[in-house]
Amino acid sequence: MAKITTAVLQKMKQQGDKITSLTAYDASFAKLFADEGVEVLLIGDSLGMVLQGHGDTLPVTVQDIAYHTRCVRAGAPDAFVIADLPFMSYASTEQAFASVTPLMQAGANMVKLEGGDFLLPTVQALTERGVPVCGHLGLTPQSVHLFGGYKVQGRSNKQADAMLRQAQALQAAGAQLLVLECIPVELANRITAALSIPVIGIGAGAGTDGQVLVMHDLLGISSGYIPKFSKNFLQQTGEIRSAIRQYVADVKSQSFPAAEHSFQ
């Protein structure tokens, strides 16, 4: 794999070449994913659930993310690596500065934070200081207790208009990438078309510029609930490397996500 940068991802959006992304937490899987052409590796705070066994992502620390970022970077030196900022690690701009430092030093190319308007000063301040930022709108897992569970966001016209405005504001503040999670397909398509930066979807339909899944969901080994937007590619192919290869092929061809993995 050639080295993936923000410029490469931007060019992929412009050319209509779908971006593939998976969560990764260790060097071995990171190398496998990169070898099979996955462009973006996300050290998600999902590790709190799939690795640590918690019921949500809230207990994850910056130190946890930094450790796994270092592991992933060692296995995939040319992949584009995004590190999540955990719950309450960016409640203020000054706190965000302190939190991003160990993540970037561990090998992240970009940090991801959840939320809209309240984050705009922080996004601007980070990008001004050389820290690339990925926004995250829709179902933001760190706010799961506020939402009352893992529920689709942006169904009403008012919510949809507000999310589009927030996406545009994040881009204007300097965000270079945006993740949309669990929102209706029509809204995801509106936001993707309105932004010049790449938009990565998870439970947002096939019209976004790329897709991301939690690797444990893709392999069908997550304990408990498997979300509607996921697909067990290991069950389909019978072998891990083939499962990753099929995921990449299906995202590139826009056969995944299909209607059954999306929200109307």
Q: Is 112 assigned a ligand-binding role in the annotation? A: yes
Find the mean pLDDT for residues 150-156. Answer: 76
Cα dist. 80→14, 17, 33, 69 in Å? 18, 16, 11, 11
* Per-residue confidence band for 144, with pLDDT thresholds at 50, 70 and 90: low
Does any domain span residue 56?
yes
Q: Is residue 235 in some structural domain? A: yes
The whole-angstrom separation of Cα 214 and Cα 253 is 20
Task: Determine if the pTM surpasses 0.85.
Answer: yes
The structure tokens 């109307």 sit at: 264
pLDDT, the chain, mean? 93
Cα distance between residue 24 and residue 90, in whole Å = 22
- Tokens 């991003």 appear where? 100
Nearest-angstrom CA–CA distance, 212 and 62: 21
**158 in a labelled binding site:** no
Cα distances (angstroms) measured from residue 187 to each of 14, 24, 155, 164, 168: 20, 28, 8, 8, 13
pLDDT more than 90, % of the chain? 84
Q: Do the annotations mark residue 89 as ligand-binding? A: no
Tell me whether residue 78 is in a domain.
Answer: yes
Please tell me the total count of domains within the chain: 1
Query: What's the CATH code of the domain at 105?
Result: 3.20.20.60
Contact in structure between 44 and 4 (CB atoms under 8 Å): no
> Does residue 1 lie in a domain region?
no
Q: What is the mean pLDDT of residues 129-137?
A: 97
Q: Tell whether 45 is in a known binding site.
A: yes
Whether residue 181 lies in the annotated active site: yes
Report yes or no on 19 lying in a domain: yes
Active-site choice (36, 181, 186, 260): 181
pLDDT at 224: 65
Residue 244 lies in a domain: yes
Domain membership of residue 215 as a residue range = 6-261
Residue 46 domain flag: yes
Give the pLDDT band of residue 175 (cuts 50, 70, 90): very high
pLDDT at 263: 84
Taking Cα atoms as reference points, which of 141, 145, 12 lies closest to residue 80? 12
Does the structure show a pLDDT above 50 at 147?
A: no
Give CA torsion, residues 158, 164, 169, 175, to 10 deg: 140
Tell me: is residue 231 an annotated ligand-binding position. no
